[in-house]
Amino acid sequence: MLVLSSRIGIPRASVNDLYNALKSATNKSSHHGCFVVDFIDRHQLGQANDALSLLESCRWIPETDNEGNITELNFAGEKLGDEDCLFATIAPYVKSGSYIIVALDNGALWRWLFEDGAVVKQIGRPVFDGHESGVG
């Protein structure tokens, strides 16, 4: 999976609450919980003492600005795991209008769009602007 674009707004003031929500969700250590443990680095998860390292253990590397706001998330895994669950967990702390656009090797394209404390997964398609020409 390739992240094509990521614009995330998580204010520094919300980072501790984000940590507590993620810690609670990732403590569900069975396949019946929110996260499938096969895709989480359990050792790193146990060592995580802040939201940034906790996100990294879920294979998403956060970028921050000078004020400590999380501004981007970049995927560090090879395969999708429980991103829908992860993003639903963090959605209440993410500013509306934030998004992550991804593409798979097979051409699938979608984005996770954060709005009003929730996240929606939207399927995309490439659109080309300009003159259409074809082989005739």
- Cα–Cα–Cα angle for 46, 48, 53, nearest 5°? 135
Residue 28 counted as domain residue: yes
H-helix segments, 1-136: 15-26, 42-47, 51-57, 83-90
Residue 51 counted as domain residue: yes
For the chain, how many structural domains are there in total? 1
The pTM score is 0.84
Q: Are 64 and 18 in contact (CB under 8 A)?
A: no
Q: What is the pLDDT of residue 3?
A: 94
Q: What is the pLDDT of residue 135?
A: 59
Residue 44 belongs to domain spanning? 2-123
Residue 135 counted as domain residue: no
Structure letter (DSSP) for residue 10 = B
Rounded Cα distance between 72 and 112, Å, is 13
Residue 115 counted as domain residue: yes
Residue 136 counted as domain residue: no
Q: Each residue's pLDDT tens digit in the chain (136 positions)?
A: 899 999 999 999 999 999 999 888 877 654 445 555 556 767 777 788 999 998 988 889 999 999 999 999 999 887 777 788 889 999 999 999 999 999 988 889 999 999 999 999 999 988 888 766 655 5
Tokens standing for residue 18:
């984000």
Residue 129 counted as domain residue: no
Residue 92 counted as domain residue: yes
